[in-house]
């Protein structure tokens, strides 16, 4: 019950400062659009660049892995797994950056930590 009252109070504070919150959300979105991370798998055999909007910008495969892909189906399957792991690592890193940016902005606005608030910024 107490948690619900806290959440309601926080929501009232958010609504009171709606314009400032919208401006802050846009700042976070702009910052995340410029953010890039690189996910890696297989010791760097596969890498994926991902931006803060969770878009995959590029995927690179090491020459050694690429040569192995030509050789046999097992290596192609392994390469596919490494690429997926690299992309997932990049997305995870981008999500962490977004979460950090949202937490920083909510602290700057004097807002309490409200679960799910990060969804407003994404």
pLDDT, one tens digit for every residue, the chain (122 residues): 566 666 666 666 666 767 777 787 888 888 888 999 999 999 999 999 999 989 999 999 999 888 887 888 888 899 999 999 999 999 999 999 999 988 888 888 776 665 555 554 44
CB contact at 8 A, 97 and 50:
no
Domain residues for the domain of 114 are 2-120
Q: Which residues contact 45 (CB under 8 A, 6 or more apart)?
A: 61, 62, 64, 65, 79, 82
Give the chain's domain count.
1
Domain containing 86 — which CATH number? Answer: 3.30.1310.10
CA distance 77 to 43: 17
- Percent composition of the chain: helix, strand, coil (DSSP 3-state, to 5): 70, 15, 15
**Which CA distances in Å does 22 have to 87, 97, 105, 106?**
30, 19, 11, 12
pLDDT at 26: 86
């Amino acid at each position: 019950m107490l948690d619900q009252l806290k959440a309601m109070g926080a929501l009232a504070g958010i609504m009171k400062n709606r314009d400032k919150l919208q401006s802050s959300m846009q700042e976070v979105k702009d910052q995340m659009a410029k953010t890039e991370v690189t996910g890696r798998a297989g010791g760097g055999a596969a890498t994926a660049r991902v931006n803060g909007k969770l878009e995959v910008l590029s995927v690179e495969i090491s020459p050694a892995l690429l040569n192995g892909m030509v050789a046999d189906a097992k290596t192609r399957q392994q390469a596919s797994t490494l690429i997926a792991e690299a992309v997932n690592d990049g997305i995870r890193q981008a999500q962490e950056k977004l979460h950090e940016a949202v937490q920083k902005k909510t602290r700057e606005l004097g807002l309490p930590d409200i679960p799910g608030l990060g969804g407003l910024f994404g």
